[in-house]
Structure 1
Amino acid sequence: MDPITPTDPQPIPATASGRRTALVTGVAGQDGVYLARHLLSLGYHVVGTLRPGSRWAPSTLGRAYAYLDGVELVDLDQRDHEGWAAVLEGLQPHEIYNLAGFSSVGASWGHAEVVAETNGLAVLRMLEELVAFRDRHGWSPRFFQPSSSEMFGISDQQPQTENTPHHPRSPYAASKSFAHHLTVNYRESYGLFTATGTLYNHESPLRGGQFVTRKITRSVAEIALGRRDEVVLGNLDVRRDWGFAGDYAVAMHRMLQLDEPQDFIVATGTSRPLSAVLDVAFAAAGLGSSEGYLRQDPAFMRPADVVDLVGDPTKAREQLGWTPSVTFEQVIEHMVRVDTARLATGVEDSVDYLLP
């Protein structure tokens, strides 16, 4: 699909090079990597922020991070209001993709205050600075906020649409709902170009090890190589709408190319049980089924869980021209192959791991 040509009601000043500049916060995360590489392929100047002291932060980076070759890296803590204001004023980007934040639903129960500060109040401060920037310069960057399907929580509506009410069931979900409504309110109240994309579960080999899909694919690869005997999981009854992170990055970009800012569901439209992830992963590793390898541990159960989430991507298909290009089975099979290669070679990071 060809990129959409943007039309901006608030003309953005052209740069001397003619290239558009995109600022991607949290650029070393799964979504940040796929989005940054997509933007680079479209000719953008991409600047990415990383938390100071993190593995890939500019201040600690000992070698080039292969995934981010061509991206200008900047140290910035999401909660640093003054730092954000300085980066915004100094860079004056055309587009901002706010992908930094606390991303683990399960871990959010033990870090509720940090989650609220990082995912909620930090977004409020970013939006406030966009208003101040607009008042100084007469224009403002376009802003994308990633919302989460977890916001819907216990929903009587299946599938969920852009108009489904929120009923968050975790500190993470509550913080994302807060940021979502802030983004909509600042658009409606101040006329900013702020768009939200409610992202359903999207996976890749860059998924962190704390997420259940990556935990499964890594464990299955270890079993196949004779390095472990079982997969240990919590609630097996959950169902989710799983897609490919690279596809979802394309949708993020397209949202900021529209004539007017809007809110979108980004999903495949199909819900699958966690057991389906296990079935595909074990088959991909040549192990047959998970029988005899699976153990449930109550320690991995959450205080409250969401049983089923599935999104309706009709609006994204009709207005963005977006549809998933990678199937659920292809994603999980690819993750197993990459985790097997990582274990066999000792190479954790390679651009060859990115695409199925």
Structure 2
Amino acid sequence: MASRSRLPRTGEAHGRPRPGRTGPLAEPMTRTLVVTGAGGFVGAHLCRIAADAGFSVFAVGREAKRPDSLDGFVDEYVGVDLTEEWPSQVPTDADVVHLAGLAAVGGSFRDPQLYLSSNSAMVTHLCEALMRGSGGGRVVGVSSGAVYAAGPGDSFIDEASPVGFSSPYAVSKVLVENQLSYYRGRGLDTVVARPFNHSGPGQGVGFIIPDLIRRLAQTSADEVLTTGSLSTRRDYTDVRDVARAYLALITAPRLDHDVYNVASGTPRSGSEILAAVCAALGRPVPETRLDPGLLRPNDPASITGDAGRLREQTGWAPQVSFEQMIVESVSSVLA
């Protein structure tokens, strides 16, 4: 395998026993991990971290050709439309982290049925293939913290918090979770991860941190910056810590629950993000102007995710600080 140096480093009981492993990434191993959505933001980081942990990585992506971001981290790659089929060459006895899916909340309002149909079909094809095969290893299905029914005030959210249906995207994720529960009842070892906001090097446009970096890099220090609300607070975790959380769920000897939050437990306001980005760019914080058109109705003032269940069950904890995440995001965007 080539050198691994592209990305920055930093209910019921589930599954069979995992001999010789007492922590989330306790020791190297030779074991296959299938990663769907491998060419995406989180997928590329997960493939690298899994390869470094000793996994043989089988990557599944949309692109016909393996993306450059996966060079040196994957042993096999297949490009396929998972809404149409599950690739026959993927081993059915491997562990799977299912990241693939439509994930833009805004886009889900424009084409809601596409989100419902596509995200659901992928899970059906994956799980039916495992049912026809050996039954698979453990399947971590990645959902979202967006499925929770956060109120207009401050929200501290654990896995017992009520689920809401605030967008077609959230509806599609709840559907996927229910499918995974159905297949768990059929004998598959499935578990759901609900990540809250995450960012870091490699994140594309359409998200607050890389978008702020690009806009600030293109404006002068005395220019007024037009923004949405900077007072709302959200829980941000570095993408590499999120990837480690998924591996922690894959490798845990025992899981006592069906759903696990992935979150830092510390909310950050838009103003804090702006200040941190400006510090990383070495420039003063600009004057800002609120654009009412960028406001979201009934937007919760603050959302904090509780990942205590994940910490207690697997020993996972964030390793990358908020400040480091911002600095490396700036370096990535400006590279």
What range describes the TM-score normalised by the shorter chain of this pair? 0.7 to 0.9
Q: How far did residue 301 of structure 1 move? A: 4.3
Where do residues 186-265 of structure 1 align in structure 2 (5 Å cutoff)? Answer: 186-187=183-184, 189-223=185-219, 229=223, 231-261=225-255, 262=257, 263-265=259-261
Q: 1:65 aligns with which of 63, 68, 72?
A: 68
- Aligned-partner residue type, residue 34 of structure 1: H
Other-structure match for 2:54: 43
Alpha-carbon distance in 2 for matches of 1:306, 1:112: 23
Q: Deviations over 1:59-118 (max 9, x none)?
A: xx6xx714432322211112113xx05244xx3351111111112222222232221122
Whether the 8 Å CA contact 1:33–1:68 is kept in 2: the answer is no
| 3-state SS, counterpart of residue 140 of structure 1 | coil
Q: Secondary structure at the match of 2:192?
A: strand
Would you tell me which structure has more helix in proportion to its own residues? 1
SS, match of residue 139 in structure 2: strand
Partner of 1:108: 108
TM-score by length of structure 2 reads 0.83
SS at match of 1:106: helix
Aligned to 2:141: 145
Give the stretch that moved more between structures: 228-237 or 195-204. Answer: 228-237
For the residues of structure 1 that align with 2:227 and 2:89, how far apart are their CA atoms? 41
The offset of 1:198, in angstroms, is: 0.9
Find the residue that maps to 2:219 and give its secondary structure: helix
CA distance in 2, matches of 1:325, 1:168: 32
Equivalent in the alignment of 2:83? 79
C-alpha deviation, 1:239, in angstroms = 1.9
Does the CA-based 8 Å contact 2:180-2:190 persist in structure 1?
Answer: yes
Specify which structure has the higher proportion of strand. Answer: 2
Q: CA deviation at 1:174?
A: 1.5
**Which stretch shifts more, 176-185 or 150-159?**
150-159
AA paired with 2:281? Answer: A
CA contact (8 A) 2:78 2:87 kept: no
Residues 22-81 of structure 1: CA distance to partner in whole angstroms, max 9, x if unpaired? 1111111111011100111122211111214xxxx41xx6xx714432322211112113
- Structure 1 residues 126, 195: closer, same or farther in 2, change over 3 A? same
SS of residue matched to 1:194:
strand
CA 1:202 to 1:296, structure 2 compared with 1: closer, same or farther past 3 Å?
A: same
1:122 partnered with 2:122: yes
Question: Which runs of structure 2 are paired with 1:332-343 in the superposition (5 Å)?
Answer: 332-340=326-334, 342=335
The 8 Å contact of residues 154 and 303 in structure 2, kept in 1 or not, is answered as no
Change over 3 Å in CA distance of 1:10–1:315 after alignment to 2? closer
Pick 1 or 2: higher relative contact order, CA cutoff 8 A, min separation 6.
2
**How far, CA to CA, are the matches of 2:155 and 2:263 in structure 1?**
13
- Tell me how large the CA RMSD over aligned residues is: 2.7
Give structure 2 stretches of 5+ with no counterpart: 1-13, 20-28
* Residues in 1 aligned to 2:176 and 2:208: alpha-carbon distance in whole angstroms: 25
Residue 15 of structure 2 contacts residue 189 of structure 2 at CA under 8 Å; is this kept in 1? no
Q: Percent identity?
A: 30
Question: Contact 1:106–1:302 (CA<8 Å) still a contact in 2?
Answer: no
Matched with 2:176 is 179
Which residue number corresponds to residue 15 of structure 1?
Answer: none
Distance 1:46 1:170, change over 3 A: same
Of the three residues 151, 166, 170, the one matched with 1:169 is 166
Report SS of the residue matched to 1:78.
Answer: coil
d(CA) in 2 for partners of 1:51, 1:66? 14
Structure 1 match to 2:323:
329
Deviations 1:147-197 (A, max 9, x none): 21110032488321122120131111121122123223322x122111111
Which residue of structure 1 lines up, in the alignment, with residue 263 of structure 2?
Answer: 267
Structure 1 gap segments, 5+ residues each: 1-5, 12-17, 343-356
How many pairs does the alignment contain? 309
2:248 is paired with a residue of what secondary structure? helix
